[in-house]
Amino acid sequence: MTSTVVHVCRHGQVENPDHILYGRAEGYGLSALGHQMAAALGEHFADVPLAHLRCSPLQRAQETIAPIAAAHPELEIVTDHRVIEAENLLEGQSFGRFNQRLALPKNLRYLWNPLLPSWGEPYRDVATRMRAAIADAAVAAGEGGQAAIVAHQLPIFIARLAAEGRSFVHNPITRECRLASVTSFHFHGPRVVKVSYAEPADHLYPPKARIFRPGM
């Protein structure tokens, strides 16, 4: 049986000088560097025989998929709310460059249980919707086909943890899901048998941006 592959890409860098945890808020598009990252993704997929495109409805994701779609004009982009950013009760705040305001008293009530997490959408719910969307993309691509999805860091990483049978509990700093990265889910039939990872925009990534902060 030939493998079907669904490539799930994280969006490029966002224009966010105030370090806002924007979450699902409207109006956050790519920075100039983010557009370069999106172009790198377009080049990465230019010669890949994609059969299906799917994307989060948020602006930063739609702008990231545009160069990929331009290289495959025969494909329509399916907007899928199941691959949207995770819901977060802290959305709209600025925590500062190094998260120093995250521990303000008004925020502590949301941080009592990182296993859920208590500040937002449960990891299990994120995994359920992402797995369903990725499986639908695999079906749309057809046996032996390839699909590309543009989504967001946490949902992508949770989908990977689910596919690999790993615990959802993790330190955000350790997520292997950098800006404009590609996490690929390899299917044999309806089952994911392997997950691979690539960074087509690695040469553009700011060296100091390894530090995790909300709103990247």
3-state per-residue secondary structure call for the chain? CCCEEEEEEECCCECCCCCECCCCCCCCCECHHHHHHHHHHHHHHCCCCEEEEEECCCHHHHHHHHHHHHCCCCCCEEECHHHCCCCECCCCCECCCCCCCCCCHHHHCCCCCCCCCCCECCHHHHHHHHHHHHHHHHHHHCCCCEEEEEECHHHHHHHHHHHCCCCCCCCHHHCCCCCCCEEEEEEECCEEEEEEEECCCHHHCCHHHHCCCCCC
The per-residue pLDDT for 38 is 98
pLDDT at 213 over 50: no
CA 103-88-200 angle, to 5 degrees, is: 100
Longest dimension (CA), the chain: 55
pLDDT at 215 over 70: no
Q: Tokens 């490029």 belong to which residue?
A: 12
**For residue 96, how many other CB atoms are within 10 A of its CB?**
13
Distance CA 159, CA 129 (A): 9
CA 1-146-158 angle, to 5 degrees, is: 100
Q: Which residues contact 2 (CB under 8 A, 6 or more apart)?
A: 143, 144
User: pLDDT tens digit string along 16-34?
Assistant: 988 899 999 999 999 999 9
**For residue 18, how many other CB atoms are within 10 A of its CB?**
8
The per-residue pLDDT for 136 is 98
Distance CA 161, CA 155 (A): 10
Percent of the chain clearing pLDDT 90 (strictly above): 75
The per-residue pLDDT for 212 is 43
The per-residue pLDDT for 100 is 61
The per-residue pLDDT for 18 is 87
User: pLDDT tens digit string along 57-93?
Assistant: 999 999 999 999 999 999 999 999 999 999 998 888 8
The per-residue pLDDT for 1 is 63
- If one compares 43 and 111, the residue with the highest pLDDT of the two is 43
pLDDT at 112 over 60: yes
**For residue 179, how many other CB atoms are within 10 A of its CB?**
25
Nearest to 50 by CA among 130, 187, 144: 144
- Average pLDDT over the chain, rounded to whole? 91
pLDDT at 129 over 90: yes
Q: What domains are there in the chain, each with its CATH number?
A: 4-210 (3.40.50.1240)
